[in-house]
Amino acid sequence: MNKTKIEWTDASWNPVTGCLHGCRYCYARKIATRFAGKAAFPNGFKPTFHPERLAQPVKERKPKKIFVCSMADLFGEWVPVYWIDQVIDVVRRCPQHTFQFLTKNPARLGAVDWPENCWVGVTAETQELAESRVDALLRCNARIKFLSAEPIQERIESELLSRLDWLIVGWVSGTKESKRPDYEKIDSILDAARKYGKPVFEKPNTLRPGPKEFPNFEKPLSLLF
């Protein structure tokens, strides 16, 4: 596992790397391409399983928030089921940690029997993507469900957000656009958080001191569905 600059987690764990989504703003592709052929990314950004990394969280006894597959989409259509199963098996063996997952393909989330120490989210940059992906996310049995709207590209306003436990919003990093945050779009997520009484984490790349809130993970099991 590695320390990370991602503000809402403590560490990243990448037993799988690489992705085929082809997203325009993908930070992971830039990093993997830069270090292609090195130990961390022997196949560049081609989806790759690293079984030698599976035991990393087990060795960490101090509780941490761990972002799983920050350099991949573990639930991409190209990911074999047995890769996912081995990752989830490690999660079950590490109840001391909180494991955070993000995907752009939530259709596969319902096939997982999620351990209670998991926060499961979807990434969506637009209203249409938020509607479809959050709807699919809500069908899984994860205890904490959240949306990451980064880099947000338009206002996102949906009643489905009222059924989530956490909202994250961020702007673009590392481009000319990053110097000109569109606060009207960003504020749509903050407005939803206030309207529905949800915790919200505004990332520093919005270039202003926004809220840095986290979900209530003590939610009773009776409120899961």
**How many structural domains compose the chain?**
2
Position 33 scores a pLDDT of 87
Contact 178, 151 (CB under 8 A): no
Point out which residues pair with 6 in neighbouring strands: none
Q: Are residues 192 and 151 in the same domain?
A: yes
Contact 29, 19 (CB under 8 A): yes
Return the SS3 of 54: coil
Answer whether 0.85 is exceeded by the pTM: yes
Q: Are residues 33 and 131 in the same domain?
A: no
Query: Which domain range does residue 173 map to?
Result: 117-225
Question: What percent of the chain is modeled with pLDDT above 90?
Answer: 78
Q: Please say if the pLDDT value at position 19 is more than 80.
A: yes
Return the SS3 of 147: strand
Looking at the domain assignment, is residue 112 inside a domain?
Answer: no
Q: Measure the CA–CA gap between 58 and 73, rounded to whole angstroms.
A: 22
Residue 91 pLDDT grade (very low, low, confident, very high; cuts 50, 70, 90): very high
Token digits of residue 83: 């890769």
Query: What DSSP assignment string belongs to 66-125?
Result: EEETTTB-TTSTTS-HHHHHHHHHHHHT-TTSEEEEEES-GGGGGGS---TTEEEEEE-S
Contact 12, 67 (CB under 8 A): yes
Q: Per-residue pLDDT tens for 36-65?
A: 888 888 989 899 999 999 999 999 999 999
Point out which residues pair with 148 in neighbouring strands: 123, 168
Q: Per-residue pLDDT tens for 165-213?
A: 999 999 987 666 777 899 999 999 999 999 999 999 999 999 999 999 9
Looking at the domain assignment, is residue 110 inside a domain?
Answer: no
Q: Per-residue pLDDT tens for 23-33?
A: 888 888 888 88
Q: Measure the CA–CA gap between 142 and 120, rounded to whole angstroms.
A: 6
Q: Are residues 11 and 65 in the same domain?
A: yes
Looking at the domain assignment, is residue 108 inside a domain?
Answer: no
Contact 69, 15 (CB under 8 A): yes
